[in-house]
Amino acid sequence: MLTAGPPARALVVAGAYFPEIGGGERLSVIHAWLLRRCGYDVTVLVPRRGTGGVDALGTSYAVASPLRLANYRAVPPRTLAQELETRQPALVYFIGPHPQDFYGVRMVQRRGIPVAALYHADFRVDRASSRAITELYARMVSRRLDAVCTTTEGYRQRLIARGVDPRRIHDVGMGVDAASFAPGLPRRERSGAILFVGGMGVNHTYKRFDLLLDALAALRAQGRRYTLRAIGDGENRARFERQAESLGIGASVTFTGTTDDAGLLAAYRAADVLVLPSPSEAEGYGMVVLEALACGCPVVTSAIAGAGEAVKASGCGALWKGIEASDLARAIDQVLTAPTPRDRVAEAAREYVLASHTWERVGDRLCSALLAARGRVA
């Protein structure tokens, strides 16, 4: 927490934000709230047309007419310069990695302002380009930051390997609202209920929901009568619905669109396994992983940073190779046919989350990281 006196101003620069729905947007809202919890007077700057306002957790945000950079919307350099001049922040915090960080970090540092950034996912482009851009980002952005806040140990090690000073890297971790996301009534038996939570838009193709449908069809061919509930929406939803019908599993798949936290809670409690099929590093952590574990629901995912680390550390779920639908099908079946009663798995998942993944714990680590960033410039 900051010392007594007027709260220091902090400018948070995000690529996407409230009221848009998605894991990245929700993470940005929470980190802005965590900065306020650290004692900062926070304003969030978002590249979007329209008007600013107040987000769901009470943080003020302003909008900037967006500059298009590849698949990303960015705050234009001129607008960022105006905001820095007007607000005179004591700290700037970028929610990244994002293309706007390349010029934004330099602009902030030229003004002698401490700058930190969150590193929670790789760039969402093709694999070859992602690696090249990530290398460039480490050299031009991460090495210049006063503090880099990672969501996983895997990202921390990756940045160290790319030449970032480990003293500037702070693994703040990922969190969940453990009070809101909690198990329901215990039950020992499994019903074969599979859950998917994620976007279905053109920018979410890396989530590979199509692969999950193929895996469910393979399980049906083996005589498994599992069901799938898909929470999410986007331009590709109709295509996925047609795919399910063509695979002969239309009656076993329920598309429910988007929902609120109450709907998510009910879905996690009813599910026997959450499946995050994405084999791409663009997935990042996936907030739904910790939400599911907090509700006692095991997870199947690939060995990607964050999500894979959580499944391996908790022992609640299974990792798949990220190659063929048959591999994914085997991992799902492994969880749904496990000899350990469902309620015992749920207890272990909940204990894992409470040990280190509440937002309060993440907030404490973030406060320390930002104090270190300001201390480097003072």
What average pLDDT does range 24-34 have in this prediction?
A: 93
Judge if 304 and 287 occupy the same domain.
yes
Beta bridge partners of 91: 10
Q: Which residue, 331, 281, 325, 330, is CA-closest to 306?
A: 281
For β-strands 72-74 and 67-69, DSSP reports them as antiparallel
What average pLDDT does range 20-39 have in this prediction?
A: 90
Helices (H) and strands (E) in the chain, counts: 13, 16
Q: Would residue 362 count as lying in a domain?
A: yes
Q: Would residue 185 count as lying in a domain?
A: no
pLDDT band at 4 (very low <50, low <70, confident <90, very high): very low
Q: Name the residue with higher pLDDT: 282 or 329.
A: 329
Q: Would residue 225 count as lying in a domain?
A: yes
Judge if 251 and 214 occupy the same domain.
yes
CB atoms within 10 A of CB 47: 25
Judge if 197 and 65 occupy the same domain.
no
Q: Would residue 99 count as lying in a domain?
A: yes
For 61-83, the DSSP string reads: EEEEPPEEETTEEE--HHHHHHH
For β-strands 91-96 and 9-13, DSSP reports them as parallel
User: Tell me: the pLDDT tens digits for 272-285?
Assistant: 999 999 887 667 77
Q: Would residue 4 count as lying in a domain?
A: no
Q: Would residue 25 count as lying in a domain?
A: yes
Report helix angle 100-110 to 77-87, nearest 10.
Answer: 40
Q: Mean pLDDT over all residues of the chain?
A: 91
Q: Are 219 and 329 in contact (CB under 8 A)?
A: yes
Beta bridge partners of 354: none
- Please, which residues have CB within 8 angstroms of residue 353's CB and are 6 or more apart in sequence? 176, 178, 290, 293, 294, 314
User: For residue 297, what pLDDT is reported?
Assistant: 97
Q: Are 299 and 316 in contact (CB under 8 A)?
A: yes
pLDDT band at 378 (very low <50, low <70, confident <90, very high): low
User: For residue 272, what pLDDT is reported?
Assistant: 97
- Please, which residues have CB within 8 angstroms of residue 139's CB and are 6 or more apart in sequence? 162, 163
Count of residues making up the chain: 378
User: Tell me: the pLDDT tens digits for 180-195?
Assistant: 999 998 888 999 999 9
Q: Would residue 184 count as lying in a domain?
A: no
Judge if 234 and 248 occupy the same domain.
yes
What average pLDDT does range 249-274 have in this prediction?
A: 95
Q: Name the residue with higher pLDDT: 302 or 275.
A: 275
Domain that holds residue 215: 193-356
Q: Are 40 and 9 in contact (CB under 8 A)?
A: yes
Judge if 226 and 261 occupy the same domain.
yes
Judge if 322 and 368 occupy the same domain.
no
Lowest mean pLDDT among 36-40, 79-83, 223-227, 282-286: 282-286
Beta bridge partners of 96: 119
Judge if 166 and 254 occupy the same domain.
no
Q: Would residue 149 count as lying in a domain?
A: yes
Single-letter amino acid, residue 102: F
- For the chain, give percent helix, strand, coil, nearest 5: 45, 20, 35
Q: Are 368 and 175 in contact (CB under 8 A)?
A: no
User: Does 345 have pLDDT greater than 70?
Assistant: yes
Judge if 140 and 239 occupy the same domain.
no
Share of the chain above pLDDT 70, in %: 95
What average pLDDT does range 43-49 have in this prediction?
A: 96
What average pLDDT does range 360-365 have in this prediction?
A: 94
User: Tell me: the pLDDT tens digits for 215-237?
Assistant: 999 999 999 999 999 999 999 99
Query: CA 75, CA 99: separation in Å to the nearest integer?
Result: 10
- Please, which residues have CB within 8 angstroms of residue 182's CB and are 6 or more apart in sequence? 294, 295, 350
Judge if 210 and 166 occupy the same domain.
no
Judge if 243 and 213 occupy the same domain.
yes
pLDDT band at 21 (very low <50, low <70, confident <90, very high): low
- Please, which residues have CB within 8 angstroms of residue 42's CB and are 6 or more apart in sequence? 9, 10, 11, 12, 32, 35, 36, 59, 60
Q: Which residue, 267, 269, 199, is CA-closest to 235?
A: 199
**pTM higher than 0.75, yes or no?**
yes
**Total domains, the chain:** 2
CB atoms within 10 A of CB 294: 26
User: For residue 2, what pLDDT is reported?
Assistant: 53
Judge if 366 and 349 occupy the same domain.
no
Q: What is the CATH number of the domain that holds 99?
A: 3.40.50.2000
Judge if 17 and 163 occupy the same domain.
yes
Phi, psi (rounded to 5 degrees) for 236: -90, 0
User: Tell me: the pLDDT tens digits for 118-128?
Assistant: 998 877 666 66
For 267-335, the DSSP string reads: HHHH-SEEEE---SGGG-S-HHHHHHHHTT--EEEES-TTHHHHHHHHT-EEEE-SS-HHHHHHHHHHH
| Token pair in block for residue 37 | 């919890």
